[in-house]
A and B are shown apart, each in its own frame.
Chain A
Amino acid sequence: MKNITRITICILLALSTLPLMAFTSLPSPQAASLAAPTRTPRAGQQIDQEIVFAFQREQNWLELEQIHITQAGQVISKGQALLDKAQSKGVDVADLSAALAAFTTEAANARTTHDQAAAILNARNGFDANGNVVDRQAAHQTVLDALTPLRQTHLTLAKAVLDLRTALQTWRLSHNQK
């Protein structure tokens, strides 16, 4: 009888803890948020909208790059004016002149890649006149093809500006130009 009572008590204890264990084994919301997100397949219309959006952004970028190239031309003119004035006053401008020549070359390279991007975007392969996708694969390719020359133009200009700024700062320091 005693043994039966003990066994019954043990079984009851074990059963009483089962709901608690089941509760504690549930994943918390925090743990659930760490699970890998499931990718829902995108509808074709959504893909087309993303391509159109990227195409518009590239066109905006192209316009901005045109402005940057124009600004680079102003830098060249202003730099040449500075060189001429400094030379007329007998100041050594060899380093600054070399830096400006390098900047001029890089600006011309940027113009070349900018024109390549403009040609790709203006061809509008895969897009209609309003910029809507008519051939998804061709439109996607247009967006990808334009990206490389756009980035190359940006990189070329950024490096050229950095180099000329450094050269100008060095020249001003060496000639006590505050």
Chain B
Amino acid sequence: MKSKPWFWIILGALALFVLAACARPISQGGSAPDTNNPSPVTSRPAAIQPAPGLPVPTQVPPTQVVAAQAQPATLQPTAAADLSKEADDLSNLLNGLSKDLDSTDTLNDVK
């Protein structure tokens, strides 16, 4: 063994090189950056915060009734259909207004 000091020198240098290479990603918080798959923490966009005073938009179910409860009819069929059309018209107006309000630019970013 003592007759081959350069063997141990090269082996030691290789070991140091490997140790230093391993220490780099650990000291920088993980593996080397992958440009194709960026870290989810750094690539995630910031959540949009509602401006002070504005509530979180609420999804409102449409006023069209999916399944009416089983109740005894209170109107004759023709009268019920007549009222139903009026109620549909009102419902459509409200739905349209609600959509317009939701899509309005409310200037949340004005400082």
**Which A residues form the contact surface with B (CB < 8 A)?**
5, 9, 12-13, 16-17, 20-21, 24-25, 27-31, 33-34, 54, 57-58, 60-61, 64-65, 67-68, 71-72, 74-75, 78-79, 81-82, 85-86, 89, 91, 143-144, 147-148, 150-151, 154-155, 157-158, 161-162, 164-166, 168-169, 171-178
In the complex, what distance in Å separates the CA atom of A104 from the CA atom of B96? 18
Whether the pair A79, B27 counts as a contact (CB closer than 8 A) is no
Q: Residues of B within 8 Å of A, CB-based: how many?
A: 57
- Given A24-B27, A61-B106, A161-B101: A78 touches B90 (CB 8 Å cut-off): yes
Known: A157-B97, A164-B94. 13 other contacts (CB 8 A): A24-B23, A24-B27, A67-B100, A75-B93, A82-B83, A91-B83, A150-B106, A168-B90, A168-B91, A169-B61, A175-B83, A176-B69, A176-B71
Contact residues of A: prevailing secondary structure: helix
How many whole Å from A62's CB to the nearest CB in chain B? 11
Q: Which of B21, B60, B65, B107 contacts A173 (CB 8 A)?
A: B65
Whether the pair A28, B16 counts as a contact (CB closer than 8 A) is no
In the complex, what distance in Å separates the CA atom of A177 from the CA atom of B90? 13
- Given A54-B107, A157-B101: A176 touches B87 (CB 8 Å cut-off): no
Q: Which of B53-103 contact A (CB under 8 A)?
A: 53-55, 58, 60-61, 63, 65, 68-69, 71-75, 79-80, 82-84, 86-87, 89-91, 93-98, 100-101
- Given A75-B90, A78-B89, A162-B58: A177 touches B83 (CB 8 Å cut-off): yes
Q: Which residues from chain B contact A147 at a C-beta distance below 8 Å? A: 107, 110
**Which B residues form the contact surface with A (CB < 8 A)?**
5, 9, 12-13, 16-17, 20-21, 23-24, 27-29, 32-33, 38-39, 42, 51, 53-55, 58, 60-61, 63, 65, 68-69, 71-75, 79-80, 82-84, 86-87, 89-91, 93-98, 100-101, 104-107, 110
Q: Which residues from chain A contact B100 at a C-beta distance below 8 Å? A: 64, 67-68, 71
In the complex, what distance in Å separates the CA atom of A54 from the CA atom of B111? 9
Q: Which of B24, B29, B94 contacts A24 (CB 8 A)?
A: B24
- Given A61-B106, A91-B74, A162-B58: A169 touches B83 (CB 8 Å cut-off): no
Whether the pair A158, B39 counts as a contact (CB closer than 8 A) is no
Whether the pair B13, A13 counts as a contact (CB closer than 8 A) is yes
Which of B24, B29, B87, B106 has the most C-beta atoms of chain A within 10 angstroms of its own C-beta?
A: B87
Whether the pair A16, B86 counts as a contact (CB closer than 8 A) is no
CB pairs A–B below 8 angstroms (9 shown): A57-B107, A58-B107, A61-B106, A67-B100, A74-B93, A89-B79, A165-B94, A176-B71, A178-B65
